[in-house]
Structure formats: C-alpha cells, structure tokens
Structure 1
Amino acid sequence: MALFETDRRILALAMARMADGVGNSFLIIVLPLYIASGIVEGRTFGLTESMLIGIVLSLVGFVSSLSQPVTGRVSDRTGRRKLYILIGLGGLTTANLLYLLAGSYLSLIALRALQGMSIAFIIPASVALVNELAGAGTRGGNMGVYNTFRLVGFGAGPVAAGVLVNAGPYSILGFGLSGFEATFYVAAGAAALSFALVSALVHDPAELERAGEDLSIDVLDGDGGLDPIFTLGVASLFMAIGIALFATLQPEINARLDQGSTWFGVQFAAFIISQVFLQVPIGRASDRWGRKPFILVGLVLLAPSTLAQGIVLDSWLMLVVRLTQGVAGAMVFAPALALAGDLATGGDSGSKLSVLTMAFGLGVALGPLSAGFLVGLGFVVPFAVGATLALVGFGLVYTQVEETVESGIHSTGSDPAPQD
C-alpha cells in the first residue's frame, strides 16, 4: 500500500510543494529583518519603512493571485502541467538566489514580483495535476494530502528562518555567510530540491485532454443562479479574509490579552496544526459522504470561531478559538477543491481550479489590509466582519452549489489513479 494511500506522483508533488513552501515562508520572517537591517538602500518614494515592508510582503500574493487564471488557462490550452510547474520552480530558485545581490527597495519589489509570477505558474498547474491524477473516489483525500504537505512546509519555514538568522554568521569551507545570506541559499536550495523532485518523479497523465477554445470563467449558471465553481471561489475568498485577520493585529492582541510574542506564535500556529492533522481525514470523508456537507459545516463553524477572536480575554481561550478556526478551515479547503475538480471537465482543471486558488490568495492578501483598516473602528469589528462574510459564504454555497458525490458510493480506496 502506498504511503498515505496516495498515488506516488501526487505524493512527490506534495513533497515538492512542502519544500518550496519552506523556502517561500522563510522570507516572511527574513525580509522585514533584512529591510530593517540597513542593508537595503535607495529611493523610498516617500514611503515609510513599515509601508515598504507591507508592500514587499503583500506583492507576491497580489501578483500570484491575479495571474493564476491566465497561467491556469495556458496550461489547459497546451495540455501541459509539469512544464509550467518546473518554470515556476525555476523562477523561485532564481529569485531566491538574486536576493543575495539585492541592495535597493526597487530590486526587492522586482524580485517579489518575479516570485509572485513563479508561484502563479506552480499553483494552478499543480492543483490541476493532482485533480487529474486522482480518481473520482479519492479526489478529496488526495487534495488533503497535497494541502497537508504544503502547510507543513509553510508552517515550518518561519521557525527555521528565525533560528537560521539568529544563529549567524556562519563559516562554511572557509567562506563566511551572514544569517541573511544563509537563509537565501536555503530558500533557493529548497526550490531547487522541489524542481528535482518534480523533474524525476512527476509526469503529466498520458490521457490528459487539451481544453477547448472557451476557457472563460463563468459567473452565472444559465438558470439565473451563480456558477457553482464561481460560488466556491467567493466562499474561499471570504474564508481567507477571515483567517488572515489575526496576524496583522499582533500588537493589539498581545496588549489585550497581556501576553508576549511566544503566546502569539503558539496561537498563530494552532490554525496550521489543525489543518495538518485534519486535511487528509476530512478530504477522504468527503470522498465517501459528499463534499457539500463538510463545506457548509466548516463555514458555519468559521463564523463563531472568527468572531470569538475579537471577544475572548484569555490566552488559553484564544488558543482554543484558533484551533477551532483551523478545524473550520480544514472542513472547507480540500472538499471545496475536490468539488470544483469534480465539476471540471474537458481538460479545463487549470482554469476552473484557479478560480479557487486565486480567490484564496486574494483573501490572504486582503485580510491583513482589512484588519488594519477596520480595527480603528473597534477591536472586535474586523472579526465581526470576517464572521459575517463566513455566513454569507454559507448562504451562497447552500443555495448555489449542488453535491457531486452520492453519499456512501465512493470509498477512499476506490477508483485509484493509475500508477506509472
């Protein structure tokens, strides 16, 4: 039996995404410190250092999200997935190495834009490939495996980056490296490792069908309602905004709960921990019992767990709330991607699934901006807005999305994807 009962090509793709996730999340910790260190110079265009840091960090999300429908469409038209994943990983490797030469704000912005475009090539093609390699009865479980590995990489990266920067400088084979230089090399090495894994172990399915000419994103379904994939994208956008509110408000949360940064780090990680442990079992359960029930329960649970973050006054309660929000997110992530994958036909997985990945990326980028603006109206306001959006998402999915799995028909072990 294969590890995680998953096609080895999907497992290799998931491990590759974990490796490049470590490298990418390194930079979330390193770049603000790098800018604040004084190494970066040049024109600031009248912006404060904190504003420049915000632009540098958020640029990847905006560039990647807005580009994903285009790159997904290109991979559908050409019938190629692996090629575009490798292009993206090559771009990430190059960008991570070029940080060693970046000494101006403009160069950092250019490199972050390159990273965003590289990620835009990776995400739609890799999610579409998972969708196409997975059988109808294992799609949810395979999406769960893919997301789990990605989240492990993303969660481990910041911790490793902090240790690596603080432990520098280093002397390796007679060459001196600062903590910053070491992290850029490690990030580039992680992307290069991903490139090697995909090159050696991942192949496009031989039966992959090229998409037709019409690859537009449907908003309406032709019967006066919303297109189900578009609806899932809107729900994913609302969910992502809600879960991205927390990180921006660290100073306010720590002051409100009278806690330090360590407590905040544990609370932040709690969401990811829930995801890591629950993505696979929930994805597999959705293969047997249906996608829609899990998505609906997740969105309902997301509302109170988001609102509570603006209400609780105890660090332990905040930890429980964050764990609960992670459970809610896990119930939406894999089942929503699997449901959209069920609806994608004719080689259009890249275009269709990019609606969800784009929406989630935009939500992650918009959430911190929303929190920074809304918290001025009251500490609870951003969390109340996030909870309201979750309920709106519930209403949209309940009324506009039909189930694609007949309960109890598919089992997590049936209809396996063909092996190489």
Structure 2
Amino acid sequence: MNRKNLVLAAVAAAVCLDTLIYGIIIPILPAYSASLGASPWQIGVIFAAYSAALLAGTIPLGILSDRYGRKKIMFCGLLSLSLSTIGFALANSIMLLVVTRLMQGLAAAATWTAGPALVADLFSPEERGAKMGVLSAANGFGFLVGPAAGGVLYQWGGYSLPFVLCTVLAVLIGLLVLMVIPGHPSAVGRVANGQSLRQVLGNRGVLTGSAVILLGSIGFGFIDPLLPGYFTQKFNITPSTIGFLFAVISLCHIAAAPLVGRLSDRVGRLKLIRLGLIATALAVPLLAPAGNLLLTAAVMGLLGITFSLLLTPSMPLMADAVMPTEDNSHDAGYGAAFGIYNTAFSLGYLIGPLAGGGWLEFFSLPSLLVAYSVFLLLVGLPALTAGSRSLQAD
C-alpha cells in the first residue's frame, strides 16, 4: 500500500470509529442516564449536546486545519474522542454526561473536517470521488455495526465495557494518525494560507454542495426517529426487526458509496447528484404502500442507494470548488469547505426531526413522505439546476 492510500486508510478508520462510538451509545446511554435520575427532557439535552458541539465546532476547526495542518486537528480530535469515551465509562452524574457528549461532538467536528480535507489535499479530482466514497462507506459501516455492538458488549460486560474497548481503539487509531500522516502542511498540500471563510462561503460550488447535503440530511433527520414507530404500528414487529430494516439502508449505502464516488470521477458530480435527488424523491413515498416486510426492506435498500447517489458526490464537489486554479492565487480552503459541509448536515438533522414531528401532530407519516418528495422535486431540483448553471457559467 502506497503512502497516500495508507493515509486514506487512517482517515477512514477515524471516521468509522467516530460513527461506531456514536452508534454504540444509542442502546446504552438512555437507560444509564435514567438510572442517574435524568428526566426525558434531560436525556434529550444529553443527546443534543453532541449536535450542539458539532455545529459550533465544525467551521472553526475546519479553518484551523487550513491554517495549521490536518494532522494536528485530527490528532486533537482523536484525543478528545478518547477522553470523552472513557468519560462515558466514568461519568456518575447528568452534568458529566453532558460535558462528555460535548467533547464527543467536538471530536466529530475535528474528524469530519480535517479528514475529508486531507483526502482532498492528497488526491486529484480525477480520483477524489472514489477515495471520498471510501470515507462514506466507512461512515456507513460505523452506523451499521455500532448499535448492535453496543447492545452485545453491554450484555457481556456491563455498562463500562463498550467504552473501555472503544477508548483502546481510539488510542490505537490516534497512534496510526501520528505515524502515517505527514506533519508538515506542505507535505499534503499548501494549507498555510487557505482561503478565508468569506471566500469559501461565496463559492457557488460550496453553496450547491451545502444545499444538497441539507436536503438529504433533512430526510435522514426525520426517517431515523419516526420510521421505527411507524413500522411497529404497521407490522407489529420487534426492535430487532426494525434494526434489520435500517441495517439494509446501511448495507446498500456501504456497497454503493465507493462505486458512486468512482463514477462521479468519470461522468461528473452534478449528474449523479441530480439522478440521486430524483430517485430519492420517487423512492421515499414507496415506504407507505409497501405491504410486507420483504417489500419494505427492498425500498429501504433502494433508499440506501439513492441517498448515496445524492450525498456521496457532494464531498468531492465541494473540494473541487475550492481547489486553486491558475487564476486563483489563494490556497485551497478544504477545511473551511468541509466545515460548511458538516454545518449543513447538522442543520438538516436538526430541522428534520422538528419538522417531521410537527407534521405528525396534524397529518400522517405517509403524507410526510409525499411532502418530502414534493419538496425535493419543487425546491431541491430547481435549486440544483440553478447551481449547475452557475458552475458551468464560471
């Protein structure tokens, strides 16, 4: 394995660990928080602390990675992840759990800005989509394995065991990052004088990619919390069966993401994003008429592929947009661009549950699926088309 691919493997391992730990917490933390006397509202605060830290930290950490190098930010992120993970094992109060979740959110912000930016530094646009597809697949694998691993490890060794093992993994991956990622910014791209946040925010490619991420994450934002209850009422199934249905999405995404990324290198990012947007709009409403578990699993798998078409090319699209050209004397602002990427994703995850939950106060979930589909076609598609024309004009 050459040096660049070894660095890619280290970044993918960090991304996978971040989402693995996020998933492990899902079946464990609510019950443990309740045992400490947390109310439902306080449990919500504990979980929201992660998103708040991610939202607040992602752009500043992206800018810092442009200025001081990816390695420092990634290592600090993994150090924060190690401390937060062992913190979960030792926390004996609600306040400590909130602080630990804040640290975990900052760790994710570091990994999800410096990591993709490092890949953008190392690989040319002709291969960037394929390499970032690997990161997307690693992310999906972490989400797939995390909840199940958390439940199994909790049954084997109690509350602390999952966090102790993940702390060991975080330390090992941190050492891997120290060994394989070059320390000097010039070794992985000229990042010392990156583009300013204003310049990156004004970039049409960044705006287009951010809009795509926002649209897609809104869908995930309401699908994750609302579909389990809908499936339970519709099919009278157990949580393990619901977990299987969601695992189908992750498996199809893991399989599709590297292929989609590689295809975007050949045919263009925007073509696949447009296809993914239309396909997602057509597939989402199919969840309601699917009358049995087999058909429902097929639709969930289809969504894993369509969301991959929509989201996977958006990462290399944003990197391509801020790449220096002969007419642009500024260095690449990859860190700032991926900070904006993560901000858009976090906002979508915030808007999705709120909008979806509010909709269900008055209407049904099938109507919400149709409304989201219409939103993608009537708002998302014209916005993407306008963005495409602006990019072509440039």
Same fold by TM-score, threshold 0.5 exceeded? yes
Partner of 1:238: 215
Q: Is the 8 A contact 2:59 2:339 kept in 1?
A: yes
Q: Over residues 305-362 of structure 1, what are the superposed CA-to-partner deviations in whole Å (9 max), with x where a residue is unaligned?
A: 2222344342222211111111111112221111111111322111112222221122
Secondary structure of 1:259's aligned partner: coil
User: Is 2:283 the partner of 1:305?
Assistant: yes
Q: Over residues 223-262 of structure 1, what are the superposed CA-to-partner deviations in whole Å (9 max), with x where a residue is unaligned?
A: xxxx231122122111111123222122232112332222
User: Is 2:193 the partner of 1:195?
Assistant: no
Partner of 2:326: none
- Matches of 1:358 and 1:311 in 2, distance apart? 34
Matches within 5 A, 1:232-381: 232-249=209-226, 250-345=228-323, 346-377=331-362, 378-381=364-367
User: Aligned-pair distance for 1:269?
Assistant: 1.1
- Matches of 1:368 and 1:29 in 2, distance apart? 19
Q: What code does the residue aligned with 1:211 have?
A: N
Q: Find the partner of 2:164 among 180, 185, 188.
A: 185
Query: Does 134-143 or 5-14 show the bigger shift?
Result: 5-14
Q: What code does the residue aligned with 1:285 have?
A: L
Q: Do the aligned partners of residues 107 and 310 (structure 1) sit closer, same or farther apart at CA in structure 2, a change above 3 Å counting?
A: farther
Would you identify which runs of 4 or more consecutive aligned residues in structure 1 move more than 3 Å?
Answer: 217-221, 310-313, 402-405
- Matches of 1:327 and 1:403 in 2, distance apart? 27
Partner of 2:51: 61
Q: What code does the residue aligned with 1:397 have?
A: L
Higher normalized helix content (fraction of residues): 2
Q: Find the partner of 1:109 among 82, 86, 98.
A: 98
User: Aligned-pair distance for 1:212?
Assistant: 4.6
Q: What code does the residue aligned with 1:367 have?
A: G
Matches within 5 A, 1:22-171: 22-36=20-34, 38=35, 40-41=36-37, 49-78=39-68, 80-168=69-157
Q: Over residues 188-239 of structure 1, what are the superposed CA-to-partner deviations in whole Å (9 max), with x where a residue is unaligned?
A: 2222222122111222551423235632266666xxxxx2311221221111
Q: What code does the residue aligned with 1:371 have?
A: G
- Matches of 1:309 and 1:375 in 2, distance apart? 16
Q: Is the 8 A contact 1:235 1:396 kept in 2?
A: no
Q: Is the 8 A contact 1:62 1:362 kept in 2?
A: no
User: Aligned-pair distance for 1:291?
Assistant: 0.8
Partner of 1:229: 206
- Matches of 2:206 and 2:214 in 1, distance apart? 12
Partner of 2:18: 20
Q: What code does the residue aligned with 1:188 have?
A: T
Query: Does 253-262 or 281-290 show the bigger shift?
Result: 253-262
User: Is 2:388 the partner of 1:388?
Assistant: no
Q: What code does the residue aligned with 1:76 have?
A: D
Identity of aligned residues (%): 25
Query: Does 61-70 or 293-302 show the bigger shift?
Result: 61-70
Q: What code does the residue aligned with 1:351 have?
A: A
- Matches of 1:73 and 1:384 in 2, distance apart? 39
Secondary structure of 1:353's aligned partner: helix
Q: Is the 8 A contact 2:30 2:43 kept in 1?
A: yes
Q: What code does the residue aligned with 2:261 have?
A: G
Structure 1, unaligned stretches of length 5 or more? 169-178, 222-226, 406-420
Q: Is the 8 A contact 1:215 1:351 kept in 2?
A: yes
Partner of 1:208: 190
TM-score for both structures, normalised by structure 2: 0.89
Q: How many residues align?
A: 379
- Matches of 2:338 and 2:268 in 1, distance apart? 18
